[in-house]
Structure 1
């Protein structure tokens, strides 16, 4: 989102693809978690997940919620910290 464009509707985030800052696809924004008291977005509910990253952790769930503090930038896509990639178990890394 262009800083000069002024405030944007939060619904513009829905449907955007989310990538790590290393370029790995994470998922697609399906919904938002809001703190109504502070009127701030606190999380992104992702669906259409990259199962290579989440398959063992979600086990049949429709998606995950990631904290909004992980978001690095928002534009045509959303970039987040590579923390999600680092969630892989060391045993999975060795097997790959």
Structure 2
């Protein structure tokens, strides 16, 4: 495996899929932790899969997924399927006890 550091800008434009092969969206931007490790903490997605998000993000630009939910990054970004359910649950119940790690943009 190539351990050469990559520029974070290479994430922008990559398609995001679940580990079951379901298209989720496209990376439009990244969220960074500038106070500590200067690591990527989230992915802002647009071009969302209408079947997954149409009822939840109507009129919104996209969603932000916590980067810890990413399983792999290559030509595409791969996330866990259970993550999709978590995101949809958090967006439909914003007053719940969930952390602010995902959001509607």
Under a length normalisation based on structure 2, what TM-score does the superposition of the two structures give? 0.76
1:83 counterpart SS class: helix
Under a length normalisation based on structure 1, what TM-score does the superposition of the two structures give? 0.83
Quote the offset at 1:56 in angstroms. 1.3
- Please list, as runs of the form range in 1=range in 2, the aligned pairs for 1:56-71 lying within 5 A after superposition: 56-71=55-70
1:57 counterpart SS class: coil
- What is the match of residue 74 of structure 1? 73
Quote the offset at 1:5 in angstroms. 4.6
- What is the match of residue 13 of structure 1? 11
Quote the offset at 1:83 in angstroms. 2.4
Quote the offset at 1:59 in angstroms. 1.6
Segments of 5+ residues of structure 2 without an aligned counterpart are 90-105
- Please list, as runs of the form range in 1=range in 2, the aligned pairs for 1:18-57 lying within 5 A after superposition: 18-37=16-35, 38-57=37-56
Query: Closer, same or farther in 2 for the Cα pair 1:84/1:50, shift >3 Å?
Result: farther
Segments of 5+ residues of structure 1 without an aligned counterpart are 90-96
Aligned residues: CA RMSD: 1.6
Runs of 4+ in 1 over 4 A off after TM superposition: none
In terms of fraction of residues, the more helix-rich structure is: 1
